[in-house]
Amino acid sequence: MVKGLYTAYTGMINEQHRMDVLTNNLANANTNGYKKEGATAQSFKDQLALKIKDYTDAPHTARGLGIINPGVKIGEGYVDWSEGPMKETNNTFDFAISGYGFFAVEHTNKAVNIQKDTAGETSTMYTRDGNFTLNTEGVLVTQDGDFVLSDGGSHIQLDPNIPVTVNTQGEIMQDGAVVAKIGVFDFEKTTYPDGRISYDTLEHYGENFFYPVDDGNAEASENYSVYAGFLEQSNVSIVDEMVNMIAVQRNYDTNQKMITTIDSTLEIAAGQLGKL
């Protein structure tokens, strides 16, 4: 009976974790290039099935379970890498990528935080947010002032007094000549039968930045198009997230009621039956 308390407790913890992910998605519903996140869970039933089907001890003999911890185990988080809708801005230095790839940015850490503990530290970040501009020196930068990198990894220097045109390969032209090419880089990815992709070597940083882990190497993307005057929007569906939020709240309430019911049963067992 007491195990039911722990089972319901793990359910509440899992739903709280899912709620945190959902609210973060909703908070970034209007963030350019944001990729929504999700959370998985592993039920005790699934774990038990894995153990029963384990024949490593002896043929046709279920493996001993040992200590049983009922309830739900928080699984791994994941990122939905599907493209968000494009929004036309008519701004020359707004760029959107169609296909695979990320813009490279020379990111400077503005303040000490959990992931970057040294202010002023510079590293290369990758993003789908192409909301760029020219600084006073004619260098292409993000809205935070970080340098946008070319295909060769250098800063992109332009003449602010000459009109700019950009083709779908990211080549920037002035006076009819190519003066720079915006870097579009891609990483090793897993493609599933239904067409979904997963970047196992990229970690989320901040709102819409990603950085490589586990020796992830950036390579020039081949399957992409760059569109000037457009921005890729977040791929978060507010309606879907709100529906999921209602389901999570109901699941949380159900587990909470289970704890209340078991507590009442224990009170009867200890206060009334214990007197006999």
Where would I find the H helices in 28-86?
44-52
Q: Dihedrals φ, ψ of 250, to 5°?
A: -65, -40
- pLDDT of amino acid 196: 87
- pLDDT of amino acid 1: 52
Cβ neighbours of residue 213 closer than 8 Å, sequence gap 6 or more: 201, 202, 203
Is residue 229 within 8 A of residue 243, CB to CB? The reply is: no
Q: Which amino acid is at 221?
A: S
Strand partners, 78: 38
Residue 104 has pLDDT above 90, yes or no: yes
Q: Nearest 10 degrees: CA dihedral of 81, 211, 146, 164?
A: -50
**Eight-state DSSP code of residue 240:** H
Residue 58 has pLDDT above 90, yes or no: no
Is residue 251 within 8 A of residue 125, CB to CB? The reply is: no
- In angstroms, the CA 146 to CA 114 distance is 20
- pLDDT of amino acid 59: 57
Lowest mean pLDDT among 125-139, 198-212, 260-274: 260-274
Is residue 152 within 8 A of residue 133, CB to CB? The reply is: no
- In angstroms, the CA 252 to CA 259 distance is 11
Is residue 123 within 8 A of residue 89, CB to CB? The reply is: no
Lowest mean pLDDT among 99-108, 178-187, 257-266: 257-266
Average pLDDT estimate for 59-77: 66
Average pLDDT estimate for 68-86: 83
**pLDDT tens figures, 164-220:** 999 999 999 999 899 999 999 999 999 888 888 999 999 988 889 999 988 889 999
Residue 240 has pLDDT above 90, yes or no: yes
Q: Dihedrals φ, ψ of 55, to 5°?
A: -105, 25
User: Among candidates 142, 102, 129, which has minimal Cα distance to 233?
Assistant: 129
- What confidence category does residue 30 fall into, taking pLDDT thresholds of 50, 70 and 90? very high
Residue 145's alpha-carbon distances to 104, 131, 139, 141, 175, in angstroms, are: 14, 11, 10, 5, 26
**pLDDT tens figures, 158-168:** 999 999 999 99
Q: Tokens 């000549």 label which residue?
A: 177
- Global pTM reads 0.82
- In angstroms, the CA 253 to CA 121 distance is 44
Please, what is the Cα angle at 211 between 223 and 190, to 5 degrees? Answer: 45
Is residue 97 within 8 A of residue 240, CB to CB? The reply is: no
Q: Nearest 10 degrees: CA dihedral of 136, 140, 145, 151?
A: -150
What does the mean pLDDT of the chain come to?
87
Sheet holding 171-174, edge to edge: 165-166, 171-174, 177-181
